[in-house]
Amino acid sequence: MTVHIGAEPGQIAETVLMPGDPLRAQWAAETFLEDAQCVNRVRGMLGFTGSYKGNRVTIHGSGMGMPSLSIYANELIRNFGARTLVRIGSCGAMQKHVAIRDVVIAMTASTLSTPSRGLFRELNFAPCADYGLLRNAVEAAERKKAVVHVGGIYSSDVFYDERDDLSEQMTRHGVLAVEMEAAELYTVAARHGARALAVMTVSDHLLTQEALPADQRERSFGDMVEIALEAAFA
Ligand code: HPA
């Protein structure tokens, strides 16, 4: 047990999928895993361990934003031996050619700041995905005939962003989409020699103001869970 994860030693798998929403973790575990058992409920942040095609896997919520994700990623890696962490979530598109429902796989994640900022001080560390996981995820997405974009994303600390000028610079520099967790996941994984990847579906579009209707979010989310599982165990 740790401060934020009530699991017993050995109850967390080496491979962990991390949706932001704990209820999505429950839905994904009940839908895609065999013999899923709840291993964490502390503060309502649900985690489940089961198996996928014979491979042990945990699906654990990260909460929203990098400070929350950082707590869970640190404890999963340092205290429970997680070695492969895949974020699954939603993002807002920042390019015209990226559409609602498309899959975005983050090669890198730009930030203003992460919870790791204090460690790097004057250095602009470049958080980047594990290449093997990234390659597997692209192949899995293509097998599903998903429209997939691979490139840089922006991990923001704010959902209600007032910095239009910064968003414009991101778009100008080819950043595909914005979300709120990947940069810290990549950074914490790098620090501990673990593998990390973020696979997201586009839920809203910053340039066109379109948004994915609530009833269609579940299906896109399911595709992403399968892409993440296939990537982890390819
Ligand atoms: N901003 C930040 N995070 C997000 C967004 C957004 O527009 N959409 C989905 N996650």
Phi, psi of 47 (to 5 degrees): -135, 140
Q: Which atom of ligand 1 is nearest to the CA of 156?
A: 2
Whether 20 is in a domain gets the answer yes
Of 102, 157, 204, 215, catalytic: 204
Task: Give the separation between CA 127 and CA 186, rounded to whole angstroms.
Answer: 5
Residue 27's CATH number: 3.40.50.1580
204 part of the active site: yes
* Pairing between β-strand 84-93 and β-strand 103-110 as defined by DSSP bridges: unpaired
The residue segments making up the domain with residue 44 are 15-233
Q: Locate 25 and state its tokens.
A: 């973790």
Number of domains the chain contains: 1
Pocket test of ligand 1: the residue of 158, 161, 180, 224 to mutate, having most ligand atoms within 8 Å of its CB, is 180
Residues 66-100 have pLDDT tens digits of 999 999 999 999 999 999 999 999 999 999 999 99
Closest CA to 58 of 46, 68, 66, 69: 46
Whether 208 is in a domain gets the answer yes
Whether 10 is in a domain gets the answer no
| 91 touches ligand 1 (CB under 6 Å) | yes
Whether 9 is in a domain gets the answer no
Whether 4 is in a domain gets the answer no
CA of 161 to the centre of ligand 1 (A): 9
Report whether 210 contacts 100 (CB < 8 A): yes
Whether 175 is in a domain gets the answer yes
Per-residue pLDDT of the chain (234 residues; tens, 9 = 90+): 999 999 999 999 999 999 999 999 999 999 999 999 999 999 999 999 999 999 999 999 999 999 999 999 999 999 999 999 999 999 999 999 999 999 999 999 999 988 888 899 999 999 999 999 999 999 999 999 999 999 999 999 999 999 999 999 999 999 999 999 999 999 999 999 999 999 999 999 999 999 998 777 777 889 999 999 999 999
